[in-house]
Amino acid sequence: VCHRISTKGVDDVCKLLKIFKTPNAPLNFSRIKRLFLRNSSPTLSSSISFICSACCDASTSSNHCNNINCSQHASYQSPPLQYFKLSILQQLREILACEQDSNFEHQKQPSLNSDLLNDIYDGDKYQHIIKNEIDIRFLTLVMNADGVQVSKDASLSLWIITLAINEIKRSERFKLKNIIIGGIVPCPSKPTRDHMRNVFAPIIQELLTLERGETFEVKSLNENPFICLKTYLIACCADKPA
């Protein structure tokens, strides 16, 4: 099962990208960030790492590649790509604390009619979690990587890694305010497999931590909003740059 950010959402992203002509400037990124996350706290944690264009390794230094065997180890001869990673946990917290339309009802029991796929809840992976987490509420995410072409000559594209929360009602799920932005990465138009692995690595790392469970304030659970929830990534989809 693969859900995509709504067309409207992509349109909004594209509009923003047009406004900020240089996508790899941190200053612009913080502006994008603020627009995306209007209600977010000013301390949204994000980190920048640099992806070597020669070996595709991610480094924290903007001067040289960490890989001792790389031609760019002494210093970057060709500029690295900047990778902006945003805190998934923090955005999850902010969305769940505001969103009225979350829905955990379908987690009470496995769905009886598994031939009928009404929503992601009826999918195999979802049903598998329900069977393992009896009477326990949980969160599931669908990750999507969308490439947006930003330079006229098609040499550079911007990958936006987003995550949708399935426990938000479908009508609200893909609205920009409820979409988590995991990372924004400028990429050469034809990223290599190694490159993509480096792009996803820090996000996967955070997702593994979230699987162990975190305490959230969930607005829709009015009576007792504080709850410990494990978060599972159940689907992932990457689309080629448009």
Is 168 a residue that touches Zn ion (CB under 5 A)?
Answer: no
Q: Work out whether 72 is an interface residue with Zn ion (CB under 5 A).
A: yes
**Smallest distance from the beta carbon of 164 to Zn ion, in angstroms?**
11
Q: Least distance to Zn ion from the beta carbon of 50, Å? A: 10
Of 57 and 122, the one with the shorter C-beta distance to Zn ion is: 57
| 66 binding Zn ion? (CB under 5 A) | no
Other CB atoms within a 10 A radius of the CB of residue 58 amount to 21
Q: Which two tokens stand for residue 190?
A: 């034809």
At 185, give phi and psi (nearest 5°): -135, 115
Whether residue 95 contacts residue 178, with contact meaning beta carbons closer than 8 Å, is answered with yes
- Is residue 65 at the binding interface for Zn ion, with CB under 5 A as the rule? yes
The window from 62-70, 97-105, 173-181, 227-235 that contacts Zn ion (CB under 5 A) reads: 62-70
Q: By CB under 5 A, is residue 1 in contact with Zn ion?
A: no
Q: Is 4 in the site for Zn ion (CB under 5 A)?
A: yes
Q: What minimum distance in Å lies between the beta carbon of 242 and Zn ion? A: 12
Reported as type and span, the H/E element at residue 215 is strand 214-217
Cα–Cα distances (Å) from 119 to 124, 127, 175, 188, 218, in that order, read 11, 12, 17, 35, 22
Among 13, 17, 32, 52, binds Zn ion (CB under 5 A): 52
Per rule CB under 5 A, count of chain residues that contact Zn ion: 11
DSSP character for 226? E
Report whether 10 contacts 163 (CB < 8 A): no
The two three-digit tokens of residue 93, written as one number? 């917290």
**Binds Zn ion by CB under 5 A, chosen from 16, 54, 156, 196:** 54
DSSP tag of 232: E
Output the smallest distance, CB 149 to Zn ion, in A. Answer: 17
Question: Among residues 10 and 65, whose Cβ is nearest to Zn ion?
Answer: 65
Which two structure tokens, joined as six digits, stand for 74? 């002494």
Q: Which is nearer to Zn ion, 92 or 142 (CB)?
A: 142
Minimum CB–partner distance for residue 104 and Zn ion (Å):
25
Measured CA to CA, the distance from residue 97 to residue 230 in angstroms comes to 16
